[in-house]
Amino acid sequence: MPAHPRAHPFMPNSVPAIKAELMAALGIDSVDELFAQIPQDHRLDRPLELPPALTSEAALSRHMRSLLGRNRSCADNLSFLGGGCWHHYVPAVCDEIARRTEFLTPVWGTPSSDLGRNQAWFEFTSQLGELLDLELVALPVYSWGCAAGHAIRMASRLTDRRKILLPRYLDPERRAVIETYCEPAEMPSHLEIVEVNGDPETGRLSLDDLRTRLDGETAAIYFENPSYLGQIESDAAEIAALARRHGAETVVGVDPVSLGVLAPPAAYGADIVVGSIQPLGIHMYGGGGLGGFIASRDEPAYAHEYPALMVSIAETTHEEHIFSLALMHQCSYGSREAAKDWTGNSTYLYAIVAAAYMTLLGPEGFRELGSLIVQRSRYAASLLDGIDGITIRFRDGFFKEFVANFDDTGRTVAEINKTLLDRGIFGGIDLSARFPDLGQSALYCVTEVHEQQDLDRLAAALREVCTR
Amino acid sequence: MPAHPRAHPFMPNSVPAIKAELMAALGIDSVDELFAQIPQDHRLDRPLELPPALTSEAALSRHMRSLLGRNRSCADNLSFLGGGCWHHYVPAVCDEIARRTEFLTPVWGTPSSDLGRNQAWFEFTSQLGELLDLELVALPVYSWGCAAGHAIRMASRLTDRRKILLPRYLDPERRAVIETYCEPAEMPSHLEIVEVNGDPETGRLSLDDLRTRLDGETAAIYFENPSYLGQIESDAAEIAALARRHGAETVVGVDPVSLGVLAPPAAYGADIVVGSIQPLGIHMYGGGGLGGFIASRDEPAYAHEYPALMVSIAETTHEEHIFSLALMHQCSYGSREAAKDWTGNSTYLYAIVAAAYMTLLGPEGFRELGSLIVQRSRYAASLLDGIDGITIRFRDGFFKEFVANFDDTGRTVAEINKTLLDRGIFGGIDLSARFPDLGQSALYCVTEVHEQQDLDRLAAALREVCTR
Amino acid sequence: MTAKLRRYHAAVWDEPIVMEMGVPGRRGFHFPEAEAAVRDAIGTASDLIPSTMQRQSRPELPEMSEPDVLRHYLHLSQETLGMMGISLFGTCTMKYNPRLTENLAMDSSIADLHPDQDPDTMQGTLEILANFERMLCELSGMDHFTFQPAGGADAAYTHACVTRAYHAARGELEQRNQIITSIQAHPCNPATATAAGFEVLTLMLEDNGYPSLDALKSAVSERTAALMINNPDDMGIYNPEIKEWVRIVHEAGGLCFYDHANFNGVMSKIRARELGFDACMFMLHKTFGVSKGGGGPAVGAYGCSDELADYLPGRRIVRQGDYYTLRDGGHLSVGRVREYLGNVQQVIKAYAWTRAMGAEGIREASDISVLVNNYMEKELLKVPGLTRSHPDIEGWRIEMTRYSLGKLYEDTGVTVVDVSNRMVDYGVDAPWLSHEPWIVPQPITPEAGEMWSKEDVDYWIAVLRQVCEEAYSDPDLVRNAPHNQAVHRQGPTSLDEPENWAMTWRAYQRKRATRRR
Amino acid sequence: MTAKLRRYHAAVWDEPIVMEMGVPGRRGFHFPEAEAAVRDAIGTASDLIPSTMQRQSRPELPEMSEPDVLRHYLHLSQETLGMMGISLFGTCTMKYNPRLTENLAMDSSIADLHPDQDPDTMQGTLEILANFERMLCELSGMDHFTFQPAGGADAAYTHACVTRAYHAARGELEQRNQIITSIQAHPCNPATATAAGFEVLTLMLEDNGYPSLDALKSAVSERTAALMINNPDDMGIYNPEIKEWVRIVHEAGGLCFYDHANFNGVMSKIRARELGFDACMFMLHKTFGVSKGGGGPAVGAYGCSDELADYLPGRRIVRQGDYYTLRDGGHLSVGRVREYLGNVQQVIKAYAWTRAMGAEGIREASDISVLVNNYMEKELLKVPGLTRSHPDIEGWRIEMTRYSLGKLYEDTGVTVVDVSNRMVDYGVDAPWLSHEPWIVPQPITPEAGEMWSKEDVDYWIAVLRQVCEEAYSDPDLVRNAPHNQAVHRQGPTSLDEPENWAMTWRAYQRKRATRRR
Ligand SMILES: Cc1ncc(COP(=O)(O)O)c(C=O)c1O
Ligand SMILES: Cc1ncc(COP(=O)(O)O)c(C=O)c1O
């Protein structure tokens, strides 16, 4: 350590002379005096024990890089993981916008001084609204799971009912979040979750089972399209119609990158639509890239149940466009315990990134993307289906994910994935613990980042692995 | 290929309807008509044969990354290469500034609309002026070698003489550039280059030899401090005094990161000072990070010989500060063949980056940096000196580079470096072909990026390699 | 202290809304066609999608070229003041976001990781998370931390969930259905408590700036599930009876949660666990130097004692020598408050920030925050029309002070919203006012923290003084502010009416059409 | 064509000069102390530096914290219009700089490469350079390219050097000491020719917009070393006799160099080699999508025929199957015009851009450049006070057209500099006027290229029309422009006088003191 402590690069006032000047202005001799309010017996009586400071950026950078060097990423390897966080290509423009300091660092100002950021938010909701064919889109919440949880609670408040139907084949992560939002049975506002079976033939929701579960107590049916297992719910309109017949809300979770080729849920009767914005130009960040959206028709009954912030276009005193928060009184900032659920710092930077992504792609980009994914994922499935011991569980009607079953290989998915890992391949998500009825199955995810050669390489590796 | 050609993402007017609209406005049916000026027999009569277009960014990104994956960088390995391009730590702030689109993409506007950029340039010259203790600093030229070449030509014009003294131990790259600038013997304006020997004991310039070469024809002596072989020219004041006595200019090349601890050349009598700005926060980029500066006292005689652009502070009509180009008439934009050499697009983005770097470091940063480098490089030399078969050629008085001789190992530097490479180490520059009199010697460069552990690792590797 | 006011003007680009931009047929991004072998084997996409599920009409997205998209969003970025000015946004602890870590986060070793990867391939991330957990334990005295909560409010929600699980495990959940908080607690505390199913009891402040022990005593009962409280509060007042509070709540069988959002002034000085708290939360996007992104991605790091460990949500990192693995929560775990491990890249940034600061830097940051806040207070109290909240409470405030422009408003009719609209005209970011409810009239809450230089703080003070003086001399100037921004102030139309709000362009198109009729 | 004019204002930060900022003792960046073992073994730095060579006084650099440094330069970036507007800067071919390649260049596989690394460790770079060389050969018909020249002017200089070496090898250098160029050639051609030691003959234009064959014939002689010429020139006029020119110069024993800076309009249409040229240069920072950086780093890719290959500067890349090595130039090589292989990262960006475009994209870019330029011309000729250079020459221009505001000046006294100072008030970047000498009065030279949308081009036209109309209706408005920038226009003081210029802060301090005396 140098003889004289050095001012810290992050702290312009850590210069002794400045501290002295400030103390002089206050007429104190020691900063300690300022903490008089805190009783001595509250105080920590020793210095903190933290690893040594790395105030040299070069040293810190090296330390961080050496730690991160222990990671192996989906970019350096060939990954087929999906299920709730997906490896899509992130356009360089999205990164450029995400790192603009004006967007990256601040909290909020006024609608005038934040014009650009608020406009970008409005462009996010407006474009997502086009993809969804819906007029009301809120700013994003933490994640798809959280969006689903909130939407289900909205549905319960809207219907004043407490029973929620969920598909049996649902991402356990999302499912766990939803359960938390439904509250334990002890709570007076508990929402009861009832599972609807999947059809063992198609992987889609069993309409028969749905009919037996739906009743006058049902607040909402929540399902996803494509489903967790990748299937396109072709009975979606029927499901929504059934729900409507029972006075229940239809809440649909959707992958926005599918919407260039798949019908938007509003078209088949969804009342509230949720989903992830992570695929819209946001890196996976080990799960840190999530963000969830909530959308619906622009009807006051729905609007009044949103917990999330909502940005509206408005006019200035001089008739310029300006963008500002609407219905603030109903969120937790506005009404504390009387609020609709709660809000706070969320994933608003990603809203801007997603806006840029949607603008970049435009209608044709989404169409191309959706088509390419459907084709390549089907190609992958067909390759795998030809391998001894591997069966594709639901052979068609899927979007980017499909279920490969390895029962006939006599090996577990865990074993197979370990062997793939040695070859630089991250195999699909192991479903065996999540859904034992699917046997040794894995959820393979194929997106636009997978070129044919990658899929061929996967097939070759699996052929080797499975037939050993 | 899709049936309808897609508009290209970089070309907003590549939409057929827009092209049609533009053609209609001109009353033409085909764009070909616009090329009527170009005679048919000038035309290429076939489409270009280029590799297939990668209009998909994902595909292009993958292609580029797979190519670049064949590189092995100084960051992933341990490099001791220097000699004219150096691995210094680049602060993240420098990268942030370098990539700001406002600085990155444009050419020029007006002094008012470019206020920020021109101010940053002025802050570059002003801070470099402080480091150099000089009042006149131009915007950077292409490289140190080019700066030296221009400075030598300035000296020749200033003295109206044509003989130039250069140290024998000079970077062959820089030397080759200088030679080009001195023109071949056939040219009427040819400058004759005369070598001054190095002292075999110290590696520094031989004053005795200098005395025999200096005469009334000598336009300039050019030397570097630290020298190419890393030595601090402690006789610099004497050299400059000798030159002055003969009416010659003293042109000194200097490494700006040494100036926190080393005396600036002006302090020992340099007339024109040149050097590289690459160490000031600019990546090596495989040699693409170079930039050269030229500086001197602010005397009209000197000012009038600069070929480079010069930015001056000035006032607006409203007495605000503004920054604008001075003495434009003497550069090639202003006077074509009557200009002082020539100028053009240069390395102006780097001037901004270097400005940010100098501001970040401040006087104490430069002092710390210089001290650390001197200590660590000496430590490295002392470790190597202890290894059987390795001799440090000039044991003290060096800054960041030193000469390690391997004669006694019985192996060539080339062999040793190949073996080091297998261990992830890039050994020092092989001097054996460049300066056969130094035997099997290598120029090792140590900077702040080399922690003690790296130097110990080098020593251990060399011990192994040399004693096998 | 005589700071010269800057001549400032925001960049004005008069930028259209993206929905109005573009031309049919333009493209910003291409995807390749599927490879020939794929097409041959599989056919076209429309063959693969059930016809009822195929999209019928193209989404009406803008059609723009790549450079135009980039330029549009760059223009919008320039039209965002966005901490390019001086932002003393109270309760949010504006920090320097080191560009090193922001750059690192874009590296594929962070950006391109899938949360379900084999732990073998995430050792770097897991080691950082595990080490940072230990560092936060040292800062708080807690035994465990989870990074799953995606914001401060989510950490509060996590606490409400942990509280449910804790009491449920004891069979007391039905009985213990009340959570106690104070009117000065952040709204997310009562809101998340309610969302978790609890009833909320809110204690009011006494003259000394915090609720009385008596009020607390009469609130606690066998129905008490937990206390959720921050300290110091947003007025900068530290409740010196907090240990007693914890004792009282514990005695009643409740858990105590320390909302440590206002940690900056007290870090290294006090530790939640030693004050008796069972749990606490740190906002990494606030105290720990992580970029705020205009509102996330964020992390509310939730810490607790060993006793609550089993209730934590999500997978836990387990260290085995130099190797790190993940363990699922047991049967007591609250499950998930959000998917996966949380905003991992933000945790990594916070780790790096903390390493850059070290123990000594963190102590100094706390010192400086408090020193500068009290310096500001001294200067601000000279500003006409400004008073301190609870003016009669003696003593120094911690890292921020709440003020009131109530007098200014009475004297001039100029509101604190007018004032902040005018402040931005001088190139400083709008200040924070107060959470709901406003317990002082026309509140304003600056917080300097450790990143703003004394010059910046002086400048900010000079701006506020200037604006308040303008309010007295030329109130319309302030009331009509801003004058130097990209647009004027928002008009008076309420956005709480269905006919006025329009959360998307298509809603706006429809409503505007309606209005025109 | 009716573009609505934007309300524009530049960001105004009133930012101090960095030399006035900071406080003694502040730090923006730390270096670690040398490790204990190093210190113990070696001692302090001052022991290691000869005392006469130790710095005596600290450099008077500002002392600032890291966040303050960052914010300062961010403010300056916002105060730079910098192609955030519409930049039709003629002769510079403003291009989209794909962010993919800009990001890639920051990757350590490009950024952290040392030029002296073993070729084993640079195979990626070498492969790209070798492939791009082949691509440029296809575009030009040449046999070789070098990327060593660090700008267009440096490529011209390279040609002058190659010319020297070529004639020297033939023993004719002393005799062949003249280089012929035209008054419309870029100033760097005559300047580099002179700097290389040649005498320059400059041909003037005839009525048809280019020098006559007769003028050329009377210029060539046994003293002719080379012709250096661009085509089309900056007026957009293509010299249809260029093949004849080449023949004449070749017959006289001179080399022909094609300055292909204005390549955008003719790429894929013509090839320098097939027109007979021996050498040419492409500006990668212009035609090939590389960021300009406000003036470099740049690349003037210099190409030549087999006959000149041995004279090329620098090391050459040699392909051996899939492996690439470097070979030193032989004894005929001109040596070096700059160190190493040139601005390698910029070549990589150019390669990526060219791959993104493909042959078809490049052809289309050329088509669009020319189409849009002629569309602009049609519209601009309606602007009051504006005429076309050489108005009587019939036919379409290539990718740019030079105009004159001489009439505007005569009518109103408003100069083209005034006009460009006013144009920026509407958020468009200042246009290029003309290189020296101005052969038309009050010249202005827009070039649209392929990256600006028709809407942007229409907007630019509308701005120029607006400004010209203002010149007629309210000339002072234009003469006193700009009005919406961070500062006003530069005052009248000449910066060519020693007492006025100040290229550094310390010079300014001294001279200002002097002036005050
Ligand atoms: C005291 C306090 N608690 C909680 C929060 C909520 O944090 P977040 O917005 O991250 O949800 C805040 C936010 O400012 C706060 O100040
Ligand atoms: C025709 C022509 N030649 C040469 C040059 C010089 O290029 P650079 O500025 O890169 O040196 C230019 C620059 O604009 C040019 O237009």
* Cα A247 from chain centre: 29
Residue C246 Cα to ligand 1 middle (Å): 21
Degrees (nearest 5) of the Cα angle D507, B351, D152? 115
Site from A57, A90, A318, A357 to mutate, D interface, most D CB atoms within 10 angstroms: A57
Q: How confident is the model at residue D417 (pLDDT cuts 50, 70, 90)?
A: very high
C388 occurs within a structural domain: no
| pLDDT of D171 | 96
Element (H, E) at C146: strand C144-146
What integer best gives the mean pLDDT of chain A? 96
C383 occurs within a structural domain: no
CB pair distance less than 8 Å for C109 and A71? yes
pLDDT at D515 exceeding the cut of 70: no
> In this predicted complex, what is the ipTM?
0.98
Residues of chain B with CATH 3.40.640.10: 92-357
Chain A closest-CA separation from residue C460 CA (Å):
15
| pLDDT of D517 | 40
CB pair distance less than 8 Å for A57 and B91? yes
Give the number of domains in chain C.
1
CB pair distance less than 8 Å for C45 and A374? yes
Query: Is C496 an 8 Å CB contact of chain A?
Result: yes
pLDDT at C179 exceeding the cut of 70: yes
pLDDT at A30 exceeding the cut of 70: yes
For residue D67, give the nearest of C23, C78, C96 by CB distance.
C96
* Identity of residue B385: D
pLDDT digits (tens, 9 = 90+) for A152-173: 999 999 999 999 999 999 999 9
C479 occurs within a structural domain: no
Radius of gyration, CA atoms only, chain C: 26
The answer, yes or no, to whether any atom of ligand 2 lies below 6 A from the CB of D153, is: yes
**What count of Cα atoms within 13 Å lies in the side-chain half-sphere of residue C339?**
32
What integer best gives the mean pLDDT of chain D? 96
Query: Is D28 an 8 Å CB contact of chain B?
Result: yes
* Burial readout D9-30 (b: 16 or more C-beta within 10 A, e: otherwise): bbbbbbbbbbbebbbebbbbbb
| pLDDT of A3 | 43
Burial of B37 (0-12, 13-18, 19+ CB in 10 A): buried
- Average pLDDT, integer, range D86-101: 96
| pLDDT of C514 | 64
D46 occurs within a structural domain: no
pLDDT digits (tens, 9 = 90+) for D319-341: 999 999 999 989 999 999 999 99
Ligand 1 atom at shortest distance from the alpha carbon of A343: 11
Pocket of ligand 1 (CB under 6 A): A 344-345; C 91-92, 151-153, 186, 188, 230, 259, 261-262, 283, 298, 300
Closest to B67 measured CA to CA, from D124, A111, A441: D124
CB pair distance less than 8 Å for B333 and D84? no
DSSP C148-160: --SSHHHHHHHHH
C65 occurs within a structural domain: no
Closest to B180 measured CA to CA, from D300, D158, D326: D158
| Alpha carbons B243 and B220: distance in angstroms, whole number | 7
Q: Which residues of A touch D102 (CB under 8 A)?
A: 92
pLDDT at D405 exceeding the cut of 80: yes
pLDDT at C516 exceeding the cut of 90: no
The answer, yes or no, to whether any atom of ligand 2 lies below 6 A from the CB of D301, is: no
| pLDDT of D512 | 85
Site from A56, A77, A105, A369 to mutate, B interface, most B CB atoms within 10 angstroms: A56
**C-beta atoms surrounding A201 within 10 Å:** 9
Q: Which residue of C has its CA nearest to A26?
A: C375
Residue D242 near residue D270, CB atoms below 8 Å: no
| pLDDT of A2 | 42
Residue D156 Cα to ligand 2 middle (Å): 9
Q: Which CATH topology does A92-357 take?
A: Aspartate Aminotransferase; domain 2 (3.40.640)
D20 occurs within a structural domain: no
- What is the extent of the structural domain holding D255? 141-356
| pLDDT of D514 | 63
Ligand nearest to the backbone CA of C258? 1
| pLDDT of B19 | 97
CB pair distance less than 8 Å for C67 and B10? yes
CB pair distance less than 8 Å for C420 and A135? no
Q: How confident is the model at residue D2 (pLDDT cuts 50, 70, 90)?
A: low
* Burial readout C17-48 (b: 16 or more C-beta within 10 A, e: otherwise): bbbebbbebbbbbbbeebbeebeeebeebeeb
CB pair distance less than 8 Å for B180 and D313? yes
| pLDDT of B172 | 96
D29 occurs within a structural domain: no
For residue C341, give the nearest of A73, A287, A375 by CB distance.
A287
What residues in chain C have their Cβ under 8 A from chain D's Cβ atoms?
A: 6-14, 23, 65-68, 70-71, 74-75, 78, 84, 96, 98-99, 427, 451, 453, 455, 484
Ligand 2 atom at shortest distance from the alpha carbon of D262: 1
Residues of chain A with CATH 3.90.1150.10: 78-88+364-467
pLDDT digits (tens, 9 = 90+) for C116-172: 999 999 999 999 999 999 999 999 999 999 999 999 999 999 999 999 999 999 999
pLDDT at C425 exceeding the cut of 70: yes
The answer, yes or no, to whether any atom of ligand 2 lies below 6 A from the CB of D230, is: yes
Q: Which residues of C touch A83 (CB under 8 A)?
A: 116
| pLDDT of D483 | 98
Ligand nearest to the backbone CA of C158? 1
% of chain D with per-residue pLDDT over 70: 99
CB pair distance less than 8 Å for D84 and C96? no
Nearest CA to ligand 2 atom 7: D152
% of chain A with per-residue pLDDT over 90: 97
- Average pLDDT, integer, range A189-199: 96
For residue A55, give the nearest of D23, D30, D103 by CB distance.
D30
DSSP B397-433: SBSSEEEEE-GGGTS-HHHHHHHHHHTTEEPPEE-TT
Domain B78-88+364-467: what homologous superfamily? Aspartate Aminotransferase, domain 1 (3.90.1150.10)
CB pair distance less than 8 Å for C27 and B93? no
CB pair distance less than 8 Å for A58 and B6? no
C336 occurs within a structural domain: yes
CB pair distance less than 8 Å for D427 and C13? yes
Query: Is A304 an 8 Å CB contact of chain C?
Result: no
Q: Which residue of D has its CA nearest to B181?
A: D196
Q: List chains touching D (3+ CB pairs under 8 A).
A: A, B, C
Burial of C2 (0-12, 13-18, 19+ CB in 10 A): exposed
Structure tokens at A468: 């050993």
Q: Which residues of C touch B60 (CB under 8 A)?
A: none
pLDDT at A1 exceeding the cut of 50: no
| pLDDT of A200 | 87
Residue D517 Cα to ligand 1 middle (Å): 59
| pLDDT of B3 | 43
Q: Which of C92, C259, C264 for a ligand 1 pocket mutation test, highest count of atoms within 8 Å of Cβ?
A: C259
Q: Which residues of A touch B448 (CB under 8 A)?
A: 58
Chain C closest-CA separation from residue A188 CA (Å):
7
Site from A54, A55, A73, A89 to mutate, B interface, most B CB atoms within 10 angstroms: A89
Q: Which of D89, D283, D299, D433 for a ligand 2 pocket mutation test, highest count of atoms within 8 Å of Cβ?
A: D283
CATH, residue C166: 3.40.640.10
pLDDT at C1 exceeding the cut of 70: no
**Residue D229 CB contacts under 8 Å (≥ 6 apart), including other chains:** D181, D182, D185, D189, D239, D242, D245, D256, D257, D258, D259
**Residue B184 CB contacts under 8 Å (≥ 6 apart), including other chains:** B190, D164, D165, D168, D173, D197
Per-residue pLDDT of chain B (468 residues; tens, 9 = 90+): 344 589 999 999 999 999 999 999 999 999 999 999 999 999 999 999 999 999 999 999 999 999 999 999 999 999 999 999 999 999 999 999 999 999 999 999 999 999 999 999 999 999 999 999 999 999 999 999 999 999 999 999 999 999 999 999 999 999 999 999 999 999 999 999 999 999 988 989 999 999 999 999 999 999 999 999 999 999 999 999 999 999 999 999 999 999 999 999 999 999 999 999 999 999 999 999 999 999 999 999 999 999 999 999 999 999 999 999 999 999 999 999 999 999 999 999 999 999 999 999 999 999 999 999 999 999 999 999 999 999 999 988 999 999 999 999 999 999 999 999 999 999 999 999 999 999 999 999 999 999 999 999 999 999 999 876
Ligand nearest to the backbone CA of D190? 2
CB pair distance less than 8 Å for D27 and A2? no
pLDDT digits (tens, 9 = 90+) for D491-502: 999 999 999 999
% of chain C with per-residue pLDDT over 90: 97
Structure tokens at B262: 């080393």
Q: Which residue of A has its CA nearest to B92?
A: A57
- Paired with D403 in beta bridges are D388, D444
pTM exceeds cut of 0.95: yes
CB pair distance less than 8 Å for D34 and B372? yes
Q: How confident is the model at residue C515 (pLDDT cuts 50, 70, 90)?
A: low
Q: Which residues of C touch A63 (CB under 8 A)?
A: 355
Residue D226 near residue D179, CB atoms below 8 Å: yes
Helices D454-473 + B16-26 axis angle, to 10: 40
Query: Is B316 an 8 Å CB contact of chain C?
Result: no
Nearest CA to ligand 1 atom 5: C152
- Average pLDDT, integer, range C205-228: 96
Nearest CA to ligand 1 atom 7: C152
